[in-house]
Amino acid sequence: MKPAATRIVISGGGTGGHIYPAIAIANALKELRPEVELLFVGALGKMEMEKVPRAGYDIIGLPVVGFQRSFSPANLLFPFKLVNSLLKARRIIRDFKPQVAVGVGGFASGPLLQMASLAGIPTLIQEQNSRAGVTNRMLAKKAAKICVAYPGMERFFPNHKIKLTGNPVRKDIINLSGKKTEGLKHFGLSENARTLFVMGGSLGARSINESLAASLPEIASSGVQVIWQTGKSFVEQARNRIAELGLQNTVKSSDFIYEMDLAYAAADVVISRAGALSVSEICLAAKPSVLVPYPFAAEDHQTSNALSLVRQNAALMVKDSEAMQLLAKTALELLADPGAQKTLSANCSKSGFPDAAHEIAKEILTLADKHPV
């Protein structure tokens, strides 16, 4: 008789910083145990509802939304959507019968992991940031295992549940050797110019975008070419600015880049927000970077992420409020200093965890095997 397949439910999303680690974990689970059955649970209307099916996995959406910290009429609906999400999560658990529930952060993780715990199903949390969020700190009380990306997380979680794994990233970013020429060709850029890769995360970053747009003449006069991921809200402004300055040959903009390995491979220096996924990718790609933490992230966790590298001389940091004055200047100075680039690259590579996805997948399967159908 054929043994029953292992069933795992993975919840979370909202941004690429949650979605892509979740997909990387799913891919690792499939590699380690091809017959595994996987189901994603996300938030209706969020980007995981499009990105996860694109990666080849089924997803169910919950109506859950975030609670606004400042007064908002939307908060009046929050309790109703939360209760509805808890009830739907309970049905998902009952119908799919997972052996383990995994939470990667984002709106959907809370209801799904809460109902899984009540049903006696072991849960695993993947905490991506150096400062744990409130939801994960609450869920940790009943979690069987907590996989973290930074040392020192016993400040937030019970030490006996913690495993330091790093953050899972897409496999194509782990080894960029030999891809620089391919990357430059893909973006239509020259092999004879220094290249700056600018990104603000999957949703874009206004302060980074506005700073870059204002600084394009200075950047162009320095002989630097640019790969610019703008996010949807700024892409038209970016393209108009590039056309206005006649820089279509040296500044390539896009609202979203799927070929991130080629963008990293082409880059000499990266400008980025300091979300957990971006920081992990930069470390694995071993790229010198200028980080601009989003100051309104929950509990200012992006600043904590950035400082974890700055303290190791593994990255530079510019405050969001100072981006217009300092961002281009800092990036151009770094582009002109090969020695500083080499130092940052060597130091940040020490914080990379190339086997993170497989390490987390092994922990999940160990829990599943202890909780048979």
How many residues appear in the chain?
373
Residue 129 in marked binding region: yes
Question: Cβ–Cβ contacts within 10 Å for residue 342, how many?
Answer: 11
Helix (H, G, I), strand (E, B) or coil at 144: coil
277 is in an annotated binding site: yes
Is 308 labelled as part of a ligand binding site? no
- Contact assessment for residue 10 and residue 22, using Cβ atoms and an 8 Å cutoff: yes
**Residue 64 contacts residue 33 (beta carbons within 8 Å):** no
Is 170 assigned a ligand-binding role in the annotation?
A: yes
DSSP percent split of the chain into helix, strand, coil, nearest 5: 50, 15, 35
Alpha carbons 101 and 112: distance in angstroms, whole number: 8
Instruction: Tell me: is residue 44 an annotated ligand-binding position.
Output: no
280 is in an annotated binding site: yes
Q: Is 99 annotated as a binding residue?
A: no
Question: Is 302 labeled as ligand-binding?
Answer: yes
Please state, in angstroms and rounded to a whole number, the distance separating the CA atoms of residues 204 and 202: 6
15 is in an annotated binding site: yes
Q: Per the annotation, does 304 bind a ligand?
A: no
- 202 annotated ligand-binding residue: yes
Using a CB cutoff of 8 Å and minimum separation of 24, what contacts does 302-306 make? Answer: 302/129, 302/273, 302/274, 302/275, 303/274, 304/129, 304/130, 304/131, 305/129, 305/130, 305/131, 305/274, 305/275, 305/276, 305/279, 306/274, 306/279
Residue 23 is assigned to a ligand binding site: no
Q: Which residues are annotated as a binding site?
A: 15-17, 129, 170, 202, 257, 276-281, 302
Q: Which residues are annotated as a binding site for UDP-N-acetyl-alpha-D-glucosamine?
A: 15-17, 129, 170, 202, 257, 276-281, 302
